[in-house]
Amino acid sequence: MNLPDPQAIANAWMSQMSDPGQWQSWFNMAPATEANPMAAMMQDVGAHIKPEAMERLKNDYLQEFGGLWQDFLAGKAPAIKDRRFTSDAWQGNPMSSFNAAAYLLNGKFLAAMAETVETSTPQQKQKIRFAVQQIVDAMSPANFLATNPEAQQKLIETKGESLTRGLANMIGDINKGHISLSDESAFEVGRNLAVTEGTVVYENPLFQLIQYKPKTETVNQTPLLMVPPCINKFYILDLQPENSLVRYAVEQGNTVFLISWSNPDKSLAGTTWDDYVDKGVIQAIRVVQDISGESKLNMFGFCVGGTIVSTALAVLAARGEQVANSLTLLTTFLDFNDTGVLDVFVDETQVALREQQLAHGGLMPGRDLASTFSSLRPNDLVWNYVQSNYLKGNDPAAFDLLYWNSDSTNLPGPMFCWYLRNTYLENKLKTGQLKVAGETVDLTKIDAPAFIYGSREDHIVPWPSAFDSLNILNPGKAKANRFVLGASGHIAGVINSPAKNKRSYWTNDKAPARGKAALADTWLNGATEHAGSWWPEWSAFLNDHGGKKVQASAQPGNARYKAIEPAPGRYVKVKAD
């Protein structure tokens, strides 16, 4: 076998990567335009590395590549720990293992280049890191039949059947408009997902309100109103009985109401953030007050649902009403100072472009939102399934959470644009500068103890940002709030039923000093880790603020708000176009 000269390979690689003019062709990106600021940034990135830094990187790369090549010639297998390349098919094939090791080395070098680029803002550096990592992940030899020995081996073993099935899977996904992450035939909302017994007792074009059937003879006097995110469907909180947070809350003796947001179509294309607050959450509060006869409710918000709930409570506070007996916020931003990796999608140019397209009407398609979130974890949510479903011809397994992940939701353009500009871009929600539904929003005026939860590996709402809500809510009343940190990520950390006895969580009952901002790292240093689910901690908080025990209501609704249809209702079953 005639092997190329390693020095020639390394020199060609370095020539390609050190020449700023080669960046765009290397990254295979669209031409730089006003609508594509990422391409413009990457085209220019090579020119922002100091020559001495580039020379150092080049020398380090040549040394490591040379060592890898010499090991290959000597028949020494590279040590690879990346789980994409640990199977016998990779490790037992010298060329495949070399390709994997060379790929990992190249990826390491690209990441080092990204870190070396001089930028004027941290956001620019974050964008460069993100763009480079996206390309590195896409270039993996595991993603191509010609360089994936596992797929090649299966092709031979099945006499081509795996390739036939893979092509059929790919064509099916093209027709569906998304990569299949789960066996979608295994699930149906209302049959084996979102099956907690309840009744829709109110609806308007924006939402349906579900009242769940009590499972205890007595319940807390103060009802619980749950507001899920409108960016996806509510049944993440009610997947199956063994991992349903809704069912758990009902079983713990709460009268539970929940908002099921509509999946917007053109009739809702002009809906605003004010509408979600006033015609959404505040209207739901009015209905629950009427049905329950209680003036105060235990309020709950998850992700952007928590942001909307908090805005609604601040609007009511400005009107002289304190309707929350307590407030639960799960993985929620109130302070958008650190939005983690999502920061790469939000700058003045990108927000202005969205405003030009959607601010006066239109829909942000659910498939675009889903693609954005998948890009945050491409190896787990994109390339893993390209390899399995298409290259190997496997059918995805049945997994309720991933089925939900693919069941996307549209957003009204005006609402989406307001949200992007006023929170992610300008971080105005916490400042008291915004007007919503005719009122000035001051989150510090919400007079209710808060249970705040963050997930330690959350890439969508970094847990220190969730923790920062302690510095906004109930100023001067530090002991009124409670923070709990869970293991895992944005979804898996939240959906962690006690029945599973998995993961862990942290608590710290020592309140921060009065008048001082609570610091996340200080809190964690003094925290205690507990095995299992954090849900019982939340249940205890609800009981503390649930009032006395009263007889559970035998019938949903009342004379004014009658039963419309059984839960989960029609709205949650509507698919995004």
Half-sphere exposure of 250 (CA within 13 A, CB side): 22
Q: How far is CA 310 from CA 127, 281, 418, 440, 469, in A?
A: 30, 10, 16, 13, 11
Q: How far is CA 422 from CA 22, 209, 348, 448, in A?
A: 38, 28, 11, 24
Handedness of CA 418, 420, 421, 424 (dihedral sign): positive
Mapped onto helix, strand or coil, the DSSP state of residue 238 is coil
Going by their DSSP bridges, the two strands 324-330 and 411-412 should be labelled as unpaired
Cβ proximity of 349 and 37 under 8 Å: yes
Mapped onto helix, strand or coil, the DSSP state of residue 349 is helix
**Cα separation of 394 and 396, whole Å?**
6
**Cα separation of 178 and 174, whole Å?**
7
Name the DSSP class of 396: P
- The residues that bridge with 439 in the sheet, in sequence order, are 436
**And the tokens for 187?**
């699930």
Cβ proximity of 50 and 118 under 8 Å: yes
Cα of 189 vs its chain's centroid, Å = 21
Burial class (CB in 10 A: 0-12, 13-18, 19+), 510: exposed
Q: What is the CB neighbour count within 10 angstroms for residue 23?
A: 20
Mapped onto helix, strand or coil, the DSSP state of residue 330 is strand
Cβ proximity of 505 and 484 under 8 Å: yes
Half-sphere exposure of 563 (CA within 13 A, CB side): 11
Catalytic residue chosen out of the listed positions 303, 315, 448, 572: 303
303 given a catalytic annotation: yes
Mapped onto helix, strand or coil, the DSSP state of residue 52 is helix
Amino acid at 142: A
Q: Which of 170, 151, 60 is nearest to 109 (CA)?
A: 60
What end-to-end distance do the CA atoms of the chain give, in Å? 53
Phi and psi for 412 in degrees, rounded to 5? -65, 135
Q: What is the CB neighbour count within 10 angstroms for residue 551?
A: 9
Cβ proximity of 568 and 194 under 8 Å: yes
* Residues acting as catalytic residues: 303
